[in-house]
Amino acid sequence: MPFNNIKGRKLQLPKDHNLKIWRYMDFGKFMHMIETGTLYFSTLNELKDFFEGKYPKMFWNSSKEMETRKKLSEIENKINKIMTINCWNLSQNESLGLWSVYVNGRGVAIQTTIKKLIQSLTKSIQDIEIGSVRYIDYNKANVDGKNIYSLVSYKRKIFEFEKELRLFYIKNYEKELGKKGEYVEIDLEKLDPNIILSPASQQWYKGTIESVLLRSGWEKLADKIRFSDLDEMPNYNQYS
């Protein structure tokens, strides 16, 4: 059952579920999402940030005993293999920085709301949780070491620009340890995203995205394609 509310596990979630969220992706990932009706959840060890799923320095320094440190290391190694995440940007506006980081060439940003994202997960069989990432100083901050979910709830301050809203769930350890991430089924109709084309896109690219959606039976989404706000030109006359 998605959107788990078990006390002490869930990340903090904004009270306003109508806030906008964004996911930036290249054309191939967008095509796969549309044609399969799924979102990819990466394991932590697939991510480029090597601090993901790691305890901060302050926490390690407070654990003096070798046996305790050994257990902490084992927890980190296990969580990095079985914890899976799917990331969104929580923002009212489009982000030039995130276009640069997550889209290499042609791509799209899908924009929806927290509420619609939660509703779109009703098809999934996984026990999915959702919340905002906290950005901390890994040299000074401490965390709740008794809660393994804290390992997925924070990142370094250098990533604050991402304003990340994170979906996550834990895979079955015994059955799925050797696998990478997994595709989770979503309801695209309930997700109801606006589809924003990557900056400097031309009309032919809009037509290509429309064709993909129409071929996949998503006529309603084809009507929700628009060009990036970064392409907008001033429409006023400063001399008038």
pTM: 0.88
Task: Name the residue among 229, 226, 217, 194 with its Cα closest to residue 37.
Answer: 217
pLDDT tens digits for 94-141? 999 999 999 988 999 999 999 999 999 988 888 899 999 999 888 887
Q: Is residue 106 part of a domain?
A: yes
Task: Name the residue among 9, 228, 237, 215 with its Cα closest to residue 100.
Answer: 228
Number of domains composing the chain: 1
Distance CA 196, CA 111 (A): 8
Structure-token pair, residue 219: 């006529």
Q: Is residue 12 part of a domain?
A: no
Q: pLDDT at position 175, please? A: 57
Element (H, E) at 126: none
Q: Is residue 11 part of a domain?
A: no
SS3 readout for 117-153? HHHHHHHCCCCCEEEECEEECCCCCCCCCCCHHHHHC
Q: pLDDT at position 150, please? A: 79
How sure is the predictor about 166, in pLDDT bands with cuts at 50, 70 and 90? very high
Lowest mean pLDDT among 5-9, 58-62, 167-171: 5-9
Range of the domain at 29: 20-231
Q: Is residue 236 part of a domain?
A: no
Element (H, E) at 26: strand 20-26
Q: Is residue 4 part of a domain?
A: no
Q: Is residue 60 part of a domain?
A: yes
Distance CA 110, CA 162 (A): 15
Q: Is residue 238 part of a domain?
A: no
Cβ neighbours, 10 Å, residue 184: 21
**pLDDT at 1 > cutoff 50:** no
Query: Residue 103 is which amino acid?
Result: V
Residue partners of 135: CB distance under 8 A and separation at least 6: 154, 155, 156, 157, 159, 160
Q: Is residue 36 part of a domain?
A: yes
